[in-house]
C-alpha cells in the first residue's frame, strides 16, 4: 500500500504551484501520444495524481507510471485547461529519481559519455572525416574541464559514480 508523504507533495508544489490546480479531468492523458502508443499504460494524469497525493514511493521507487517514457512533446501542457505545467513537474520527479539512482541504463551511459567527452553522443572518427571531406565547419565543444566542474557542482558526477558503486 502506498504511503502519503505530505513533505514530498509540498516539495513538488513549492517547485511548481500549478500542480495544485489539477482537477483530474484527464485531458492530458487523452491527448498524450505516449499514452496512446502504450494503450494507457503510460498516463500523465496518474503521475500528477500521485504527486498531488504525495505518493513518493510510487513515483520514485516503483515508477508506475514510468515518468521516463514522457517524450516532452508538451502536448499535455498545451491542452490542460488548468495550465498545469506537467513537464516541469515531471522534470522534478525525474531529478529525484536520478538522485536515488533510479533511472534508465541508457541515460546512465549518456551521463558517463558527457563526463568523459563533454557531449552525450561523441562524433565518430568516420563522421568527422566525412564532414572534413564535405568542407563542413570543424565542430568544437565547450571545454571539457568546464563541463566537468559544472557537473560536479550540480552533483551530477557524484550521482553517476554512486550508481556505478551500487
CA distance to 6, 91, 93, 108, per residue, from 44 (Å) = 20, 13, 12, 24
Q: Does 26 bind ligand SF4 (CB under 6 A)?
A: yes
| Binding span for ligand SF4 by CB under 6 A among 84-92, 97-105, 108-116, 132-140 | 84-92
Q: What number of chain residues touch ligand SF4 (CB under 6 A)?
A: 25
- Of 86 and 114, nearer to ligand SF4 (C-beta) is 86
Judge contact between 154 and 93, C-beta under 8 A: no
Q: Does 24 bind ligand SF4 (CB under 6 A)?
A: yes
Q: Which of 8, 9, 12, 28 binds ligand SF4 (CB under 6 A)?
A: 28
Q: Which of 27, 91, 110, 112 binds ligand SF4 (CB under 6 A)?
A: 27
Judge contact between 85 and 18, C-beta under 8 A: yes
- Of 73 and 139, nearer to ligand SF4 (C-beta) is 73
* Residues within window 145-164 making contact with ligand SF4, judged by CB under 6 A: none
> What single DSSP character describes residue 18?
G
Cell digits of residue 166: 551500487
Rounded distance between C-alpha atoms, residue 16 and residue 34, angstroms: 23
Amino acid at each position: 500500500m502506498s504511503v502519503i508523504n505530505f513533505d514530498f507533495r509540498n516539495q513538488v508544489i513549492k517547485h511548481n504551484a500549478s500542480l495544485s490546480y489539477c482537477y483530474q479531468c484527464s485531458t492530458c492523458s487523452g491527448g498524450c501520444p505516449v499514452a496512446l502508443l502504450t494503450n494507457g499504460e503510460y498516463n500523465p494524469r496518474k503521475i500528477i495524481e500521485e504527486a498531488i497525493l504525495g505518493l513518493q514511493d510510487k513515483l520514485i521507487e516503483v515508477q508506475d507510471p514510468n515518468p521516463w517514457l514522457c517524450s516532452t512533446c508538451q502536448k499535455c501542457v498545451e491542452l490542460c485547461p488548468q495550465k498545469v505545467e506537467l513537464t516541469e513537474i515531471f522534470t522534478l520527479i525525474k531529478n529525484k529519481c536520478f538522485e536515488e539512482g533510479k533511472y534508465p541504463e541508457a541515460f546512465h551511459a549518456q551521463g558517463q559519455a558527457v563526463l568523459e567527452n563533454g557531449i552525450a553522443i561523441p562524433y565518430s572518427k568516420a563522421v568527422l572525416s566525412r564532414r572534413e571531406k564535405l568542407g563542413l565547419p570543424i565542430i568544437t565543444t565547450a571545454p571539457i574541464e568546464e563541463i566537468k566542474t559544472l557537473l560536479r557542482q550540480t552533483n551530477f558526477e557524484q550521482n553517476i559514480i554512486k550508481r556505478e558503486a551500487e
